[in-house]
Structure 1
Amino acid sequence: VVSIQSISKVFTAALVMSEKGSVFIQEKIGVNATGAAFNSIVAIEQHNGSALNPFVNAGAIQTTSWVKAEDSRERWAKISANMSAYAGRNLQLNELVYDSEVNDNKRNQAISKILDAYGRMGSDPLEATTVYTKQCSLNVSVHDLAVMGATIANHGINPVTQLRVIDAKYTPKIMAVMAIAGLYDNSGDWLYSTGLPAKSGVGGGIIAIVPGRFCIAVVSPPLDDFGNSVRGQLAIKYIVEKLGLNTYQ
């Protein structure tokens, strides 16, 4: 079991997309690669306050701020319930991880303040940053990640519970952003090698989706310089090659 970390960004973006539509994500947050580090402040200024996509920290915090809620408690309840629906079970908060990260998130707080100055935030910036930190601290197993990714692969229906979690019209949009920015600054090389939309997290997890079929999930914490699981990438690339899963082949 590990904390979900940045893989959570996929499912909160999907939640906001369900509430506000895919055009909102495209126009308000963006769907382009940043060409900068995942926690870059400079990238926001260079693009007139645009986060560019919901999978860098700026875009993820902004996305969290736009979840429809009256306050932070309701926002957190909706986000955690949404991710639990993807997993098919109630996911639990890792209090130790959360306590550590919430006391060391000054850079993310700065990012949220800059976005707020540009009028990009949907709620109080510091509150949104705290909720974002909490969503990254949910515990998941590799089985949870596989089911969560498979729900997207299965056009929005959880393959375990058979419940629809998101409208099928949104899953191609989510996978498109995963292809663009799912593995931080290494997203282009990843797509070039595998042809699969994927998302990684610094907890060591990776989900790689074979559209319409299934999800490959891996948890292996040692990370490369980009923040992606070293062995996880190798394992998925091996499976893709052996089973001929590259979507461009």
Structure 2
Amino acid sequence: MPLDLDIAVQAILDRVLDRARPVGGGELADYIPELAAVDPDRLGIAIASVRGDVHVAGDADTAFTIQSVSKPFVFALAVDALGLEAVLEHVGLEPSGEPFNAISLDEATGRPLNPMINAGAIVTSSLILGGTAEAKAAHIVDGLGRFAARDLVVDEEVFSSEAGTADRNLALAHLARATGALTSSVEVATTAYFRQCSVAVTARDLSIMAATLAAGGVNPLTGDRVISADAARWTTSVMTSCGMYDESGTWLVRVGLPSKSGVGGGIVAVQPGQFGIGTFSPRLDARGNSVRGVAILEALSARFGLHVLSQGPEMRSPIAAVSEDGDHRIAHLRGELHFAQVEELATRLRPLLGGDGCLVLDLEGVTRVGGAVREVLRELPSIVGPRPDGGPAIALRDPDGVLDPER
């Protein structure tokens, strides 16, 4: 028997899908022959929390190809392996304000404007480790699988279909090669990119991948660190400004979640520190975004206050809860801890210090700690000093090692 909370979440998701089903309009991505053959009425959603809970509804386990939803995750793999500055030598971070397949190159540097458009994504794929297209693609598919918490495979029929209708992407790659932005041959880069876009996923997979970004790069199902916390933050930032192509500004106002769409019908969205969302519905609007996927995320954001810039103070608090264990008080912390959060901790937890017990700061729900704050927290027990009976007045519980100086 599921918990009452699980029943409530399921009811919410079912209701959201029921309201989205009648939404009309949109067309399949028929310029890729294999994508023109999918069932246009498929509709699914999944939500994965940073604690590893996954809730699904509708066609959440129906396979489709990831297409451009792969772009932020491959960017994350590249910056995690090479560092942000090295990647920025080849691709920028600025919104293009143009369609996904536009010729958007910086006039001064020749770099594609960002890694979310096709030109930038092809360049990003060329940066992935491996001297051949096969090696790069294998590294990408493995990385996407670590985000999704399972082994993923390429849909070979879709790959062949994409490779056979790739004139514009090949042209973009040649232009990037001519400017020096592309680090491999055109054939190697585009073949790796087409295989990347042809990876088969589900809405459930996308939600887990997004939750990995929300959790600062740690997969909430496997517990594996897929990328660094910095790489997760940088990737989420680019999704916020560039993820929905030439609708990114409107998306930020109306939905307010870092997101990425793909012409396979998927959309992935991130609520940092909390959860990831994956949706699937194949019919696309003129900008290449899923018509009903957009409707779902707009409704969720409006009804449940998910906009990242409208969170109330109670949602931003680093203190998720306070519990007791005998004489000990346990403060369960969450999200990212920077100066503002530590200031709040000092104010709100001060009354819990003293007496016969110890105040325990439980960092299990913390996704990232700023460098200077990390040092302060590690030294906090010695700064506060012992209780009158000689025991520690404050202690830290850090099962995931977020205070490790190497993180």
Higher relative contact order (CA 8 A, sep 6+): 1
For the 8 Å contact 1:25–1:31, the answer to whether it is kept is no
Quote the Cα distance in structure 2 between the aligned partners of 1:187 and 1:98: 28
Identify, as 1 or 2, the structure richer in strand: 2
Q: How many pairs does the alignment contain?
A: 248
2:257 counterpart SS class: coil
Given the alignment, which residue of 237, 243, 246 partners 2:307?
246
Aligned residue for 1:191? Answer: 252
Deviation at 1:212, TM superposition (A): 0.5
Deviation at 1:45, TM superposition (A): 7.0
Given the alignment, which residue of 198, 217, 222 partners 1:156?
217
2:105 counterpart SS class: helix
Residue segments in structure 2 that go unaligned for 5+ positions in a row: 1-62, 311-407
Quote the Cα distance in structure 2 between the aligned partners of 1:60 and 1:22: 15
Given the alignment, which residue of 90, 100, 103 partners 1:38?
100
Given the alignment, which residue of 63, 68, 74 partners 1:12?
74
The structure that has the greater radius of gyration is 2
2:269 counterpart SS class: strand
Which segment is superposed worse, 237-246 or 100-109? Answer: 237-246
Quote the Cα distance in structure 1 between the aligned partners of 2:276 and 2:208: 7
Quote the Cα distance in structure 2 between the aligned partners of 1:80 and 1:92: 7
Quote the Cα distance in structure 1 between the aligned partners of 2:86 and 2:308: 27
TM-score under structure 2 length normalisation? 0.59
Quote the Cα distance in structure 2 between the aligned partners of 1:191 and 1:241: 12
Deviation at 1:77, TM superposition (A): 1.1
1:29 counterpart SS class: coil
Deviation at 1:44, TM superposition (A): 2.3
Q: Which amino acid aligns with 2:81?
A: E
Q: Which amino acid aligns with 1:130?
A: T
Quote the Cα distance in structure 2 between the aligned partners of 1:89 and 1:12: 16
Quote the Cα distance in structure 2 between the aligned partners of 1:205 and 1:33: 21
Given the alignment, which residue of 269, 289, 298 partners 1:208?
269
Q: After superposition, give the CA deviation of every residue in 1:33-75 in whole Å (9 maximum; x if it has no partner).
A: 112221112x327455220100100000000011121222211
1:23 pairs with 2:101: no
Residue segments in structure 1 that go unaligned for 5+ positions in a row: none
| Cα RMSD for the two superposed structures | 1.2
For the 8 Å contact 1:86–1:148, the answer to whether it is kept is yes
Structure 1's 237 and 66: CA in aligned 2 closer, same or farther, altered over 3 A?
same
For the 8 Å contact 2:115–2:124, the answer to whether it is kept is yes
1:31 counterpart SS class: coil
Identify, as 1 or 2, the structure richer in helix: 1
Which segment is superposed worse, 59-68 or 238-247? Answer: 238-247
1:128 pairs with 2:189: yes
Quote the Cα distance in structure 2 between the aligned partners of 1:100 and 1:64: 19
Deviation at 1:95, TM superposition (A): 1.2
Q: Which amino acid aligns with 1:85?
A: R
Quote the Cα distance in structure 2 between the aligned partners of 1:5 and 1:171: 20
